[in-house]
Structure 1
């Protein structure tokens, strides 16, 4: 009798474990589906706006009370709709190089052609959208003209695109947050090698060469010119797996600037960096602020 009871208990224990495992697997699968669906919706919204110049598509994918943080565009959906004829006339096109998701936030690393409406024929941007009820509810961006030459020989958008290490998203965001606080804010710059790999640091900022040596050289030069980037506040740290984006404000050239920095990590070290830096104007087309 004891033997039968033991066998029954073992069967029940295995069944319970399998059920729990199946539920966990199902939950992970459902989470992945939701994330994929949100990215797909964001892609459709982007295509409706920048690809098809489609007013009905914009109305479908953008909320009526859409909140705008681009300094030059009024808030709400109407300015978005009013912008469509301008984009269509210029035949503005986009290329998405990376798309990341952090909860309800979708991050696009884009380049645009025929983009005079954004300040130059070719521009590079980070666009961050907050999604709500399957629509775009809020938008932040940073825009810069595309550079024809760079110190590293890399472009502002090339490099790896594959998202890996999803289980390390939180820890990678912590590493980058600590790097920003210690190094970019100047609280403990001597810790730089705690965060950036001494073996590989691929640089996409047009003015900075590869490697720690390139970064050190750029910092020394800017400091000698009394023109070093000054980071004052980080508003958002968003990431997915091996990619982490920080959205910060500070000063450069003695003027307020927004700094969007994208980092790629491997084995708990920063190994690659892209950025877009944009001056923050004193007057904006809305009261929402840049951040």
Structure 2
């Protein structure tokens, strides 16, 4: 799953007490109503449905002191806390997506109260309905390509001659050979990424190119040279996953990771329109 950090979103003008945290938007009906009765939200707070304009938002109450401007800033700086909020957020979105088509809201989208959530649904009804129609029957697949020259088969190098002028030349030859091997692996990885993109385009309704992951975000050894998401019709899901997963077979030093299916985070994250909230704010 493409779970890269979404920007925290707030609606200014928050007061004391509780605010309404919005997870996802879908069509009004029993699917989301039923889910709200059996699934907790952030910090275990109960979910509730908020309806407006024929749509339904999944909402939970959160404390205004921790989800207001200063509170959100503090939570962004606490990686453990941010991870806990993100996990709860995505758990709700994924459970809702298993029931029906939904639009994930950005992480920590909060409103002053449910009335303002309902107003947002009414004002953005056309946009939300259009997105829901486009995503109906589709899922997201993640595709990452990695290059790791260390795992490529490298021909054994002859032993270095005794110390002297010849030893330096032999060392340079080995280094040049290693560099050529690394360049070959990265070229091969780029070729696999290009073939994956062409294959996805044969069935995917849309593709999204993300920034390659680095450090702890990368899930495999080596360098992540491509990180994409595909919006795929459900009927083509298994075939595409199978064909993508074998593209790097027999390519030394190159691997491909196919994840999902996920809710369509890369294609459906709903945008809070300007004017949301009590003060006419709500910028992302």
TM score, norm. by length of structure 1: 0.25
Larger strand percent: 1
Q: Computing the radius of gyration over CA atoms, which structure comes out larger, 1 or 2?
A: 2
- Give the number of the structure whose residues are more often helix, by fraction: 2
Query: TM-score w.r.t. structure 2 length?
Result: 0.26
State the structure with bigger RCO (CA 8 A, min sep 6), 1 or 2.
2
